[in-house]
Amino acid sequence: MRDPALSHWWVCEKTWFVGVDALPNDGRGALLGGVPLGGAPQSAIEALYGALPRLHKAQLSVVRPGYPKPREGESAAAFRYRENRDAAHVDGIKALGPDRRRRVDERHAWILGLPLTENTPEEAPLVVWEGSHEIMRAALQAALLPYPETDWQKVDITDVYQTTRRRIFESCPRVPVCAKPGEAYLLHRLCLHGVAPWSAESAPENALRMVAYFRPNVAVSVTEWLAQP
C-alpha cells in the first residue's frame, strides 16, 4: 500500500485502496515463503466449481475510517449510491465508454475473500444481498435472449441491470459479512455486493479493514457464464 507504484489505487480521498493485482502471490496463491491456498476454501471451491485454477495476483481491498468519500470524477448521484447503497455491484458488469453503458466485460468463476485484519461490523464490512445471484441471472438471461449468443458480450444491459438492482434491494436481505484472519468467504459471481460505510465513531489513526480477493476469469461464453452453477 505504501509502494509509490501503487499509489493510484488510493481513491475516495485515500479512504479506499482498490489494489487490483496488488499482492505478489504465485499461481497457487502463495506469497514468498508462504503456503498456497488450500484447506476449507479450496475444498468449497472444488465442490462447487471444479478444480482450483491457476490464480492471478490477488486484489488487496483496504478501507480506512472516513469511507466513503467521493471518488475522483464521481457524480453526486454516484456518490449517493456509494453512501446509501454500498456501491453495490456485480463484478465484471462494467460501465464502459464515454456513455458509461454497462456490458458483461469480465467473466469471473467465483469471488473468494480472505480477511487480513479483524474488524467490527461498523468497520466497512463486505455486504451481500442474499439470493441476489439467481434474480440477476434470470434477468440477464431474459434480456439477452433476443440477441444472437455470439453478441451477448456486446449488448447494452444498463437498464435491466439497474432495474434488477432495485428489485434486489426491495426483495433480498442485506447481509453484512464479517470474518477474521484464518476465515474466508466465497461469493457467487453474480451476487450483488458492496462495501458498507465505516460507521465506527472512533478508531485509532492507523485503523483499516483489509481483505485479499481472488476472482479468476473463465474462458467461457457469456451464455455459459450465466448458466453455470
Please say whether the beta carbons of 135 and 209 come within 8 A. Answer: no
Q: What is the model's pLDDT at position 202? A: 78
Please say whether the beta carbons of 170 and 135 come within 8 A. Answer: no
Place of cell 473468494: 112
Q: Is 194 exposed, middle or buried (0-12, 13-18, 19+ CB in 10 A)?
A: middle
- Distance from the Cα of residue 181 to its chain's centroid: 19
Q: What is the model's pLDDT at position 37? A: 95
Q: What is the model's pLDDT at position 178? A: 94
Q: What is the model's pLDDT at position 126? A: 98
Dump pLDDT digits (tens) for 58-86.
999 999 999 999 999 899 999 999 999 99
What are the CA-CA distances from residue 173 to residues 39, 125, 144, 158, 169 (Å)?
A: 29, 15, 27, 23, 8
DSSP string, 160-181: HHHHHHHHHHHHS-EEEE---B
| pTM of structure | 0.93
Q: Give me the tens of pLDDT residue by residue for the chain, a chain 229 residues long.
A: 677 778 888 999 999 999 888 899 999 999 988 999 999 999 999 999 999 999 999 999 999 999 999 999 899 999 999 999 999 999 999 998 888 899 999 999 999 999 999 999 999 999 999 999 999 999 999 999 999 999 999 999 999 999 999 999 999 999 999 999 999 999 999 999 999 999 988 777 789 999 999 999 999 999 999 999 9
Cell of 161: 441491470
